[in-house]
Amino acid sequence: MTAVKTLGQFIIEKQADFPYAKGELSRLLRDIGIAAKIVNREVNKAGLVDILGDAGTMNVQGEGQKKLDVYANEQFISALRSGGECCVVASEENDECVYIESEISKNAKYIVAIDPLDGSSNIDVNVAIGTIFSIYRRQSSEGKPRISDVLQKGREQVAAGYVIYGSSTMLVYTTGKGVNGFTLDPSIGEFCLSHPNMRIPKDGKIYSINEGNYVHFPQGVKDYIKYCQEENADSGRPYTSRYTGSMVADIHRNLIKGGIFLYPVSSAYPKGKLRLVYECNPMAFILEQAGGVATDGVNRILDIVPDHLHQRSAIFLGSQNMVAKLSEFLTASGLTSYRIDKVISAP
Ligand code: AHM
Ligand code: MG
């Protein structure tokens, strides 16, 4: 019989990887894991209780908030507040940073950026949704944390992860030493290590993009989509198109099977739709740690300096060879100076 390793056990075991660690990051990850279980419980009840539908409020981007978005936001912030290791939470659902100023948090070193419930258009229709989080170490040494503590480059992340509430619930995270995935065993209420050392295949046959917006895409992206659809026995084309509208689900699938996820600029979203700080950066960190690549078409995602909290970015991420091929089309169309060979940094 194989011994089960829980998320809590795994986190403590890995603490030894960080000689300077005093357990704060481990406790922070534990707090996130606890909130994820509570959110999971409510997500699974959706439809049974009066929790579906609009909360009647708008978030900072003017998008309607669903009740579960609000609930998830409150749960994560509350877990981080009572955990004592986090001094600022930057959330998709809050216009401004939430500063945690309790007695137990007065020496807290960590900043958490979070999209508490991503893929909100899928909540009402039983399609997988997710939570995305990113953790930074505070740079300023005293007083109230500064906005520059929050607006660090993605490559400064000390940890990042996502939770997928799908056919099963999984938590996948990295601390910069590879990627590990844990599946929630509802019978014991624990995330258990199920996907150790996740690696994205170098090649893939899945492309994930909202093709309904095709007419608005940059030429290089249009050309790449046509390439994916062409018949070519040697490269296994045409590729398969898979897109749920939940970034976490689409990227999780591509991480396991090999593939590319694209959300380019378009006329509807001239700067891209997805948010750099709490959607693109954590996903880029995880994918790079799994051996993949993430770019906005010009820059490595993790090298972009954010200038505001809710900043949007185009994003292309996934299997190395697929992103490299896309880059060829972007370059040929004159869009980019991106050099994929400069950013491939598989651990
Ligand atoms: P959300 O944070 O409001 O849920 O939006 C983010 C989601 C991503 O999960 C997904 O990839 C994308 O929006 C889908 O957008 P679109 O419907 O334009 O394809
Ligand atoms: Mg989101």
More confident residue, 111 or 107: 111
3-state secondary structure the chain: CCCCCEHHHHHHHHHHHCCCCCCHHHHHHHHHHHHHHHHHHHHHHECCECCCCEEEEECCCCCEEEHHHHHHHHHHHHHHHHHCCEEEEEECCCCCCEECCCHHHCCCCEEEEEEEEECHHHHHHCCCEEEEEEEEECCCCCCCCCHHHHCCCHHHCCEEEEEEECCCEEEEEECCCCEEEEEEECCCCEEEEEECCCCCCCCCCEEECCHHHHHHCCHHHHHHHHHHHCCECCCCECCEECCCCCHHHHHHHHHHHCCEEEECCCCCCCCCCEEHHHHHHHHHHHHHHCCCEEECCCCEHHHCCCCCCCCEECEEEECHHHHHHHHHHHHHCCCCCCCHHHHCCCC
- Mutate which of 120, 121, 275 to test ligand 1's pocket (most atoms within 8 Å of Cβ)? 121
Q: Which of 120-134, 142-156, 323-337 has the lowest mean pLDDT?
A: 323-337
Name residues contacting ligand 1 (CB within 6 A): 63, 92, 115, 118-120, 210, 245-247, 273
Nearest atom (ligand 1) to Cα of 210: 19
Predicted confidence at residue 337, as pLDDT, reads 53
Give pLDDT tens digits for 2-58: 789 999 999 989 887 776 667 888 999 999 999 999 999 999 887 776 666 666 666
Q: Tell me the range of 45-49, 104-108, 195-199, 266-270 where mean pLDDT is highest.
A: 195-199
Q: In the predicted model, what is the mean pLDDT of residues 77-86?
A: 95
pLDDT at residue 191 tops 90: yes
Write down all domains in the chain, each with its CATH number in brackets: 7-195 (3.30.540.10), 206-342 (3.40.190.80)
User: Around ion ligand 2, which residues have CB less than 5 A away?
Assistant: 115, 118
pLDDT reported for residue 342: 47
Q: Which ligand is nearest to the CA of 269?
A: 1
More confident residue, 166 or 65: 166
Give the model's pLDDT for residue 103.
87
